Structure 1
Amino acid sequence: MPAELPSDWSRWRGKVDLDSYDERWRRMAESGEDPHGEVALVMTYGPSSVLDGGCGTGRVGIELARRGVHVVGVDPDPDMIAAARAKAPDLRWEQTGLESLALDERFDVVVLAGNVVPYAAPSVRAELVAACARHLTPGGRLVAGFQLQDGWPTLDEYDAWCAAAGLAPEDRWSTWSREPYAGGPYAVSVASVKPV
């Protein structure tokens, strides 16, 4: 794994076998659970295009594409991108950090499922949010879910990065299934491009 990947990510990734990781979602579906809560939430905004930031092995992006959405997946981890490409070679997968993202497309939604923001190096988190904001269409939304724990971004920090990037808070939940947020260890935040 490249040395430039952040230490929190590298520690997590060092413990994870990609086949077992993907198997988790298959088992959820077989047991009747919906492994696509992130997709269901994103689809409520009626997007025609989504940037799947920190796309991992492609679970969210592939399901969005299956539902008719134009998707581009981005992840800095070469093994994750290779796994996504192997599963869906017809989709566009880019190996790059979100903080240096410079695509020629704009998206209705940028989704950061999982712990994309806290897994980024602390020095680039604000720029990661700004780069995501630059890739939104007018009225577009940044949807990010991540754990709240010591050493990781607080919601106040995240909200400040969004505001600096021209995004206004729209919604916040404690789960991807839209359970109200009243504190707790996980938050899903929606911020939208401010009108000019």
Structure 2
Amino acid sequence: MTSRWERIARETVGDDYARAYAERFRAMAARGADIHGEATFVAGLLAPPARVLDAGCGTGRVAVRLAELGYDVVGVDVDESMLEQARAEAPGLDWRQGDLATFDLGETFDLVLVAGNTIPLLEPGTLHDACKRLGHHLSPGGVIVCGYGLDAAHLPGDCPPTALDDVDAAFGAFGLDAVARYGTWTGDAFEPTDGYAVTLYAESTR
């Protein structure tokens, strides 16, 4: 069965989407663009060598940068073709194949990062299970960071938006509250009309 992500990627980029995706960010970096916003955001929350799970790591751009900064990183993704690009870029890092709705790595992390529109690209009906599995991989006192687009302008192809309230409720069912929310990876104030959110989820204190 073709995943929502794979279908959209093939329709919008083509069959060689994994290589094209990796090349896009290499080209941006070559032009002087800062492509490390997510890693910089993580570095502002906790210091290395903290353990970080990059959930939905794709071609590994964020995980590679975090490793360069000294973090102990594991990347997991459902798409083997994206992981092939990640392994080629950084063969010494720990890359795992897994569906976020069912995966179990048998270990926990100080921070779980879910970036790159991973949340809205989940398969229909799997948000609750994915949030449960993500929370299962969080160490006590840790934080889950989710960043994704909220409208069509910030999402690929025909990917439907996922409401913030639905994600908050899914994590809340497992004792994780939304403790902070920003509008960008640089920490700008959140404005719903801007179409993007970065939310921190941590253990409930209630």
Query: TM-score scaled to structure 1, two decimals?
Result: 0.91
What is the alpha-carbon root mean square deviation over aligned residues? 1.6
SS at match of 2:54: strand
Using the TM superposition, give the Cα deviation of residue 24 of structure 1 relative to its aligned residue in structure 2, in angstroms: 2.2
Residues in 1 aligned to 2:146 and 2:204: alpha-carbon distance in whole angstroms = 17
Structure 2 segments unaligned to the other structure (5+ residues): 153-159
Q: Which moved more, 1:132-141 or 1:30-39?
A: 30-39
Which letter does structure 1 place at the counterpart of 2:91?
P
Does structure 2 retain, via aligned residues, the 8 Å contact 1:108–1:137? Answer: yes
Does structure 1 retain, via aligned residues, the 8 Å contact 2:22–2:85? Answer: no
Segments ≥4 residues shifted beyond 4 Å: none
Fraction of identical pairs, as percent: 39
In the alignment of these two chains, the number of paired residues is 192
Other-structure match for 1:110: 112
Other-structure match for 1:180: 189
Using the TM superposition, give the Cα deviation of residue 86 of structure 1 relative to its aligned residue in structure 2, in angstroms: 1.6
Does structure 2 retain, via aligned residues, the 8 Å contact 1:76–1:96? Answer: yes
Other-structure match for 1:13: 9
TM-superposition CA deviations, 1:39-67 (whole Å, max 9, x none): 00011121501000000000011110111
Within a 5 Å distance, the mapping from 1:1-196 to structure 2 comes to 3-5=1-3, 7=4, 9-14=5-10, 15-16=12-13, 17-47=17-47, 48-149=50-151, 151-183=160-192, 184-195=194-205
Q: Which moved more, 1:172-181 or 1:18-27?
A: 18-27
Which letter does structure 2 place at the counterpart of 1:162?
F
Residues in 2 aligned to 1:25 and 1:149: alpha-carbon distance in whole angstroms = 22
Query: TM-score scaled to structure 2, two decimals?
Result: 0.87
Residues in 2 aligned to 1:30 and 1:79: alpha-carbon distance in whole angstroms = 24
